[in-house]
Amino acid sequence: MAGKELREGFTTGACSAAAAKAAARVILLRQPIREIETTLPNKKKVIFELKRCELTEDKAICSIIKDAGDDPDCTHGAELTAEVRLNTDNQIILKGGEGVAVVTKAGLGLEIGEPAINPVPRKNITEMILEELIGSAFSGAEVVISVPGGQEMAKKTMNERLGLIGGISILGTTGIVKPYSTAAYKASVIQAIQVAREYGETSIILTTGGKSEKFAMDLLPNMNEVAFIQVGDFIGTGIKTAIKEKMDHVIIVGMIGKLSKMADGVMMTHRGGSSVNTKMLARIARSIEMPEPLCEEIEKANTARHVLDLCKEAGFFHITTKICEIVSHNCSKHGLGLRVSTYMVDFDGTLLGKFEAPEGWGIKEEISE
């Protein structure tokens, strides 16, 4: 990759889990500590330095400053704080404190009224605390995650529009922040496709991140590992480079949020103003003759995931296949006729829909510099 190698950072979820683990250890040791080794959701072990470490009679409070690496967002430098009380209740209860948003709308994969701590961070926080409790007299804990200044940070996000009120979300699927939104990452996408071509690959799989790549590898176990390329938000760059490198076939694997943007013709899925167009999704629903009341609900939906939930509940799940078909046609158009197939997966890797482009679909052309 041209230029210096990009430095990865850590997610709010990874920092929260590490802070919670540290607080649990401090209670058990009855003395402060300076750092904590934690296991990220991707199973990598990392040592975090503690910013805050306080112990009282019945609780401990520890915090970690988030380092977003070379792709700092509005939460870079945020202080992820965990207040932990241990008990013998055989469960880990998670609560949101200052600066952590509360869910007020459906379609976010979380219950309304719950703190905006996403499923993977919830699991990571729980596992890290339980790891500390092994062999102790305790079997459960009450954990309050807070982010001082989180409400102000949230003004730079779409949280309020999505119904996440009062702060930021605790996010992350791997624990690692990859610097997607830089010219250097874009260059790495181009290089990865060139490497695949050097290895003789004429079919590549473009994914939007680490989790979708893992799911893609499960779906396509016979493909060479070098053919799997994380394009992040740069799907347009991936398609354009595939044409330049004379690829025969591109398979896009992603979840409904990013695929919905691609279906709307957006080839840079992180850019400002590229929120999911639910009116467009409603038009797709009408094109496949879904009931009008459902189409109206889709148009008013909060997120693409909410659309998926609505369609699933109504028994009209075939919209996923239609979205995949439109993505393939849009990417083929942007890629000057490249044969493009699209697979949609859910957050557990289950295949929800796919469009398999037939042989001879699309006309390959050169792209001028």
Least confident of 221-235, 270-284, 355-369: 355-369
Q: Give the C-alpha separation, 190 to 242, whole Å.
A: 9
Last residue of a domain, one of 149, 177, 205: 177
CA-nearest of 328, 320, 316 to 356 is 328
Q: In the predicted model, is pLDDT for residue 97 greater than 50? A: yes
Average pLDDT over every residue of 264-277: 67
CA-nearest of 16, 59, 57 to 36 is 16
Q: In the predicted model, is pLDDT for residue 353 greater than 60? A: yes
Q: Give the C-alpha separation, 336 to 332, whole Å.
A: 6
Grouping H, G, I as helix, E, B as strand and the rest as coil, residue 333 is helix
Instruction: Give the pLDDT confidence score for residue 162 in this predicted structure.
Output: 78
Instruction: Give the pLDDT confidence score for residue 269 in this predicted structure.
Output: 59
Neighbouring C-alpha atoms within 13 Å toward the C-beta of 3: 10
Q: Does residue 320 sit within a domain?
A: yes
Average pLDDT over every residue of 122-149: 98
Q: Does residue 365 sit within a domain?
A: no
Q: 119 with 201, same domain?
A: no
Q: 85 with 166, same domain?
A: yes
Instruction: Give the pLDDT confidence score for residue 186 in this predicted structure.
Output: 80
Average pLDDT over every residue of 186-192: 82
Q: Does residue 369 sit within a domain?
A: no
* pLDDT bucket at 268, cuts 50 / 70 / 90: low
CA-nearest of 181, 140, 149 to 168 is 149
Average pLDDT over every residue of 44-73: 93
Q: 263 with 283, same domain?
A: yes
Q: In the predicted model, is pLDDT for residue 219 greater than 70? A: yes
* pLDDT bucket at 358, cuts 50 / 70 / 90: confident
Instruction: Give the pLDDT confidence score for residue 334 in this predicted structure.
Output: 58
In the chain, beta strands by DSSP E: 9-10, 35-39, 45-49, 52-55, 60-65, 79-87, 92-96, 102-103, 140-146, 164-165, 176-177, 203-207, 228-230, 249-254, 339-345, 351-355
- For 272, the domain range is 183-355
Average pLDDT over every residue of 118-138: 97
DSSP 181-234: SSHHHHHHHHHHHHHHHHTT--EEEEESSHHHHHHHHHH-TTS-GGGEEE-TT-
Q: Does residue 366 sit within a domain?
A: no
Q: Does residue 14 sit within a domain?
A: yes
Instruction: Give the pLDDT confidence score for residue 266 in this predicted structure.
Output: 82
Quote the radius of gyration of the chain (alpha carbons, Å). Answer: 22
Q: 101 with 207, same domain?
A: no
Q: In the predicted model, is pLDDT for residue 221 greater than 80? A: yes
Instruction: Give the pLDDT confidence score for residue 183 in this predicted structure.
Output: 66
Q: 225 with 245, same domain?
A: yes
Average pLDDT over every residue of 200-208: 94
Quote the number of domains for the chain.
2
Q: Give the C-alpha separation, 92 to 106, whole Å.
A: 24
Instruction: Give the pLDDT confidence score for residue 363 in this predicted structure.
Output: 47
Instruction: Give the pLDDT confidence score for residue 276 in this predicted structure.
Output: 83
Q: In the predicted model, is pLDDT for residue 360 greater than 90? A: no
Contact 262, 252 (CB under 8 A): yes
- Main-chain dihedrals φ then ψ at residue 161, nearest 5 degrees: -60, -35
Q: In the predicted model, is pLDDT for residue 40 greater than 90? A: yes
Q: 234 with 114, same domain?
A: no
CATH number of the domain that residue 29 is part of: 3.30.2110.10
- What mean pLDDT is reported for the chain? 89
* pLDDT bucket at 368, cuts 50 / 70 / 90: very low
Q: 93 with 29, same domain?
A: yes
**pTM higher than 0.75 for the full model?**
no
DSSP 88-135: SSSSEEEEE-TTB-EE-SSSSSS-TTSBSB-HHHHHHHHHHHHHHHTT
Q: Give the C-alpha separation, 39 to 22, whole Å.
A: 12
Q: Give the C-alpha separation, 235 to 267, whole Å.
A: 6
Instruction: Give the pLDDT confidence score for residue 106 in this predicted structure.
Output: 80
Contact 16, 125 (CB under 8 A): yes
Instruction: Give the pLDDT confidence score for residue 356 in this predicted structure.
Output: 94
pLDDT digits (tens, 9 = 90+) for 6-38: 788 999 999 999 999 999 999 999 999 999 999
Last residue of a domain, one of 135, 154, 177: 177
Neighbouring C-alpha atoms within 13 Å toward the C-beta of 55: 14
Query: What does the block give as tokens for 317?
Result: 């799940």
Contact 26, 32 (CB under 8 A): yes
* pLDDT bucket at 317, cuts 50 / 70 / 90: confident
Q: 33 with 167, same domain?
A: yes
